[in-house]
Every structure is written in structure tokens, then in C-alpha cells.
């Protein structure tokens, strides 16, 4: 079945499993094939849980905060490389 899973099938499988186990499903709750198919549609596991409505999506503020954090980290790397070249 997992080879022919549609995006909607993946969402249904996630929601059904969550109801069955009364918690957020983890990758370990599924076969490797099911996990691969789900991730092929939704990317990282948390995004799949968000798409299924099982986990709240990150807020725009949180996304912007993470973006700024990445920019600062890259700038520190650039600054460190500049110091090495001097």
C-alpha cells in the first residue's frame, strides 16, 4: 500500500495513528516505506505533523527569529574567515 500512498493517504495514516496511540506519532510508529513516502510529500517529520494538523505550525515571529539567527551565524563565520586571512 505505501508505494501507492497519495498525499491525502499520508495525512489519513498520520491522523489515524495519532488517534490510535493517543500521542504524536513518531517515525518509529511506521514502516520505513511509509516514513519515506510521508517525508517525500511533506519534508521533515515535524512538517508532516503540521500538515496533518497534529502539531501547530511555527509562527511567523518564530520563523523570522530563526532566520535572523542563521544570518548572524553565517556572519560570524565570514568574520572568522576574514581574521584568518589577515
Residue with cell 515571529: 61
Query: Which of the four pLDDT bands, split at 50, 70 and 90, describes residue 3?
Result: low
Kindly calculate the radius of gyration of the chain based on its CA atoms and give it in whole angstroms: 19
Please give the tally of structural domains in the chain: 2
pTM above 0.75, yes or no: no
Query: Do 33 and 12 reside in the same domain of the chain?
Result: yes
Domain that holds residue 41: 1-55
pLDDT of residue 1: 47
Query: Do 48 and 79 reside in the same domain of the chain?
Result: no
- Model pLDDT for residues 51-60, shown as the tens digit of each residue: 999 998 878 7
62 has pLDDT over 90:
no
Amino acid at each position: 500500500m505505501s508505494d501507492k500512498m497519495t498525499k491525502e493517504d499520508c495525512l489519513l495514516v498520520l491522523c489515524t495513528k495519532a488517534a490510535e496511540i493517543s500521542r504524536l506519532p513518531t517515525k518509529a510508529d511506521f514502516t520505513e516505506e511509509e516514513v519515506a513516502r510521508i517525508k517525500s510529500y511533506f519534508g521533515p517529520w515535524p512538517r508532516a505533523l503540521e500538515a496533518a494538523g497534529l502539531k501547530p505550525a511555527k509562527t511567523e515571529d518564530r520563523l523570522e527569529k530563526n532566520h535572523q539567527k542563521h544570518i548572524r551565524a553565517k556572519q560570524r563565520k565570514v568574520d572568522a574567515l576574514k581574521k584568518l586571512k589577515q
